[in-house]
Amino acid sequence: MEERILEVRDVVKRFGGLVAVDHVSMDVYRGEVLGLIGPNGAGKTTLFNVITGIYKPEEGTVRFKGMDITGLPPHQVAKLGIARTFQLVRPLKNFTVLENVVVGALQKSPNLGDAVEKSLEILELVGLYEKRNVASGSLTLVEKKRLEVARALALEPELLLLDEVAAGLRPKEVDALVDMLREINKRGITMIMVEHVMRAVMNLSHRIVVLHHGRKIAEGTPQEVANNPQVIEAYLGTGVE
């Protein structure tokens, strides 16, 4: 568990006068699930965008498996083994669910038969097997989110970035999702999870990093973070599960 798969160092991302990510550094170790939480507008999605190459940071570096990937274009980042889901889902609408996943799978298994086989397996894992031949445009939001996860998995990533995949789920569904993600994690995929649904983050994360106004304000085990008064004040509040 000591290998650092991702090292974020002093990353700064500004939008005009606004500093969306403000000198954030963090490490992700191979095999762990890292929770990334923080109030709305804290800079979580922006940090994901920096890691995956959609934004270029003004300052700082991102290293993946020791290699500097700062500013690489998104498709190359994906090739190296970092996959992500979008907070706002973007399925390939006229493609079937299966086809959506196969697009990703082909990256690693150029043979169509293999790619399909692998995709079906993934669909089973995320619970979309039944819907494999449905056009992805007609899925419900939650299903689309699962499809996002499935597509990301198809890339056989070493590091998976999840942006609010539990949003909109009922507790039971959250639990099912957590089980699913844990299963994925067990297969050796490291994850960073941005999530507001505490039931998911707290259950799944090994460690949690908290952002606020673009800065890192806390880091630790779920327990430590949940009891951190600053985090409670800024983020958790009282009264919610």
Partner 1 sequence: MAELLKVENIEVFYGEFQALYGVSFHVDEGEIVALLGANGAGKTTTLKTISGLLRPRSGRILYEGRDITHTPPHKRVEAGIAHVPEGRGIFPWLTVMENLKAAAYVKRARERFEETLEFVFSLFPILKERRDQQAGTLSGGEQQMLAIARALILRPRLLMLDEPSLGLAPKLAYNVIMLTKQLRDEGYTILLVEQNVRLSLKVADRAYVLETGRIVKEGSSAELERDPMIRAAYLGM
Partner 2 sequence: MRTGWSEIARQALSLPVLVAAFLLVVTPFGLYLADLPFIANMMFLSLMYAIAAMAWNLLMGYTGQLSIGHAVFFGVGAYTTMILVVYYDVTPWIGMFVAGAVAALVGLGLGVPFFRLRSHWFTLATIAAGEIFKLVFNNWEYVGSSAGLQMKIVPEGKALYYLQYAASYVYIYVALLVLAIELVVLYRIVTSREGFYLQAIREDELAAKTLGINTFKYKMMAMGISAFFTGMAGALYAVRYHFVEPAAVFDVITVSTYIAVAGIIGGIYHFAGPIIGSFIFLPAAEYVRVTIVARFPRLFGLHVFVLGVVLLVVSLFAPDGILGWMEKRGYIRRRRVIEV
Where do contacts with ligand ATP occur on this chain (CB under 6 A)?
Answer: 15, 18, 20, 38, 40-46, 87, 138-142, 168
3-state secondary structure of 176: helix
Say if CB 198 and CB 240 are below 8 A apart.
Answer: yes
Based on the shown chain and the rule CB under 8 A, indicate whether residue 98 belongs to the binding site for partner 2: yes
Terminal alpha carbon distance of the chain = 30
Choose from ligand ATP, Mg ion, partner 2, none: what does 92 bind? Cβ within 5-8 Å by kind: partner 2
Contacts of 179 (CB under 8 A, 6+ apart): none
Residue that is written with structure tokens 């939001």 in the block = 141
Distance, CA of 40 to CA of 35 (rounded, Å): 15
Choose from partner 1, ligand ATP, partner 2, none: what does 99 bind? Cβ within 5-8 Å by kind: partner 2
Contacts of 54 (CB under 8 A, 6+ apart): 74
Based on the shown chain and the rule CB under 8 A, indicate whether residue 104 belongs to the binding site for partner 2: yes
Of the two residues 45 and 52, which places its CB atom closer to Mg ion in the complex? 45
Closest approach of Mg ion to the CB of residue 211, in Å: 10
3-state secondary structure of 68: strand
Based on the shown chain and the rule CB under 8 A, indicate whether residue 87 belongs to the binding site for partner 2: no
Of the two residues 38 and 91, which places its CB atom closer to ligand ATP in the complex? 38
Q: Give the interface segment with partner 2, choosing from 29-37, 57-65, 101-109, 209-217 (CB under 8 A).
A: 101-109
